[in-house]
Structure 1
Amino acid sequence: MNAFTEGSSGLRLVVHCDGACIGNPGPGGWAATIKLMDGDQEISRTEVVGSEPAKTTNVRMEMSGAIGALRALPENDGTPVAVFCDNELVSRGMNEWLSGWIARGWRTATKKPVANQELWQELASLAAGRTVTWHWVKGHAGDPHNEEVDALANAAAAQAMRQAQAG
C-alpha cells in the first residue's frame, strides 16, 4: 500500500531527508535523496547534501534536509511528492501546526514566537502549489532509506566539524 498518491501519469517523487549535529548546538549536516518513481520502478535518483560549520542545532539541520530536498525538486509539473523524515517536529509542523502558526502571525498556541520561523516559512513557500505529503519514520530503526540519509547527514556534519576546526 502506498502512503501517498500517484499522479495521473503514475509518477511520484519520494524524498527521504535527515539532519545531524555534532554537539547540539554544534557543526551540522543534512542530506536528502529524491527518487522519481513510476509505480515501484525507480526512474531517477538525486542526492543533495549540505552542512553548517557554525553552531547549529539538530532541528535546524532536520529542517534544512527537507528544504534542500524541496529546492532540488524538478519544476512543478503536478507530480505528487512524499517526504519522509525521522523528526516528528518537521512532519507534524507541516501537517498539523503550520496553518495555525500562520493564522496567529507566527505564534504558537501558547502565543510564543515559532522557533525557526524563517525555516518554516521557506518550507511552506517551497511546498506551496505542490501536492506534498509529510510522513514520519522512526529513526535508527532499520529503515534502509532513513539509514542512508542519516549516514549522509552525519558525514556532512563531520565535514562541517573539520571545516570549523580548520578555521
Structure 2
Amino acid sequence: MAIIAYTDGSSLGNPGPGGYGTILLETEKKVKKEFSQGFRLTTNNRMELLAVIVALEMLKKPQTEITIYTDSKYVCDSVEKKWVLGWEKKGFKGKKNEDLWRRFLIFYRKHKVSFQWVKGHAGNEFNERADVIAVAAANSKDLKIDTGFEADKSSDSINFAG
C-alpha cells in the first residue's frame, strides 16, 4: 500500500508564530488524515520540514512507500539532491535546523520516500488544504514552544527536542 502526503509550513513573520499542515492519503482506501500544530516562535523552513517529519512519523509499517508533495524547494532539493546527506557527513556544521534534519533522517531511512515539488498557491486541492491547516495552526491559541529553534536563538548549545 502506497501513501501520499501533502505538506506545508507557515510562518507569520520569519521568525514568528508558525505552523505545519500534513495530509496523508492512502492510495488504495483513499483514507485521509490531517495533522497540524502551531508554534509561538519559529521559521517557515522549520515548519515546512516539520510537516514532512510528521508525515513520516505517522507511518507504522517499515519500508512504507510514500510520495511527499511539498511546495518547499528547501526541503525537496535538500533531500532529492542529497545535500542533507553531505551535511550529515560534515556534522551539520554551519547548517540551520540541525535538530529537525537529524529527526528527519531517522524516519527517512525507515521508509521508501520520494518527493514531488508542487507550485504553492496554484490550485492543487491538497496543497491548498495543507496551507490552510498550517496557517490555522499558526494562528491558533494552542501554540507550542519550538524548543529546537528557541534554544538555538538563546544560546550556542544544540537542543534536539522537537
Whether the 8 Å contact between 1:86 and 1:136 is mirrored in structure 2 is yes
Please give the secondary structure, in 2, of the residue aligned with 1:159: coil
Q: Which position in structure 1 is the counterpart of 2:54?
A: 68
Aligned pairs for 1:24-35 (under 5 A) are 24-35=14-25
Question: 2:102 — aligned with what?
Answer: 121
Return the match for 2:66 from 54, 73, 81.
81
- Residue of structure 1 in register with 2:45 after alignment: 59
Question: What RMSD, in angstroms, separates the aligned Cα atoms of the two structures?
Answer: 1.7
User: How high is the TM-score relative to the length of structure 2?
Assistant: 0.82
CA distance in 1, matches of 2:134, 2:2: 24
Match of 1:141 among 109, 114, 122: 122
Q: Distance in 2 between matches of 1:132 and 1:87?
A: 16
Partners in 1 of 2:98 and 2:64 — Cα distance?
A: 27
User: 2:123 & 2:96 partners in 1: Cα distance?
Assistant: 30
Cα distance in structure 1, aligned partners of 2:129 and 2:143? 23
Note the alpha carbon deviations across 1:134-163, whole angstroms, 9 max, x for none.
Answer: 121110111111001000101111105x75
**Amino acid paired to 1:86:** D
Give the Cα–Cα distance (whole angstroms) in 2 for the partners of residues 73 and 80 of structure 1.
Answer: 10
Q: Structure 1, unaligned stretches of length 5 or more?
A: 1-10, 108-112
Contact residue 19 and residue 65 of structure 1 kept, 8 A = yes
Partner of 2:160: none
Shift of 1:74: 2.3
Q: How far 1:132 moved relative to its partner? A: 0.3
After the TM superposition, which parts of structure 1 deviate over 4 Å for at least 4 consecutive aligned residues? none
Number of corresponding residues: 143
**How far is 1:23 from its partner?**
1.3
Letter paired with 2:100? L
In structure 2, what residue type is equivalent to 1:134? F
Q: Give the counterpart letter for 1:51 in structure 2.
A: G
Q: Distance in 2 between matches of 1:62 and 1:139?
A: 12
Partner residue, 1:4: none
What is the aligned partner in structure 1 of residue 80 from structure 2?
95
Gaps of 5+ in 2: 145-162
Listed as ranges, the matches of 1:39-58 within 5 Å are 42=30, 44-53=31-40, 55-58=41-44
- Show the counterpart of 1:153: 134
CA-CA distance at 1:79 after TM superposition: 2.9
Q: Distance in 1 between matches of 2:42 and 2:100?
A: 13
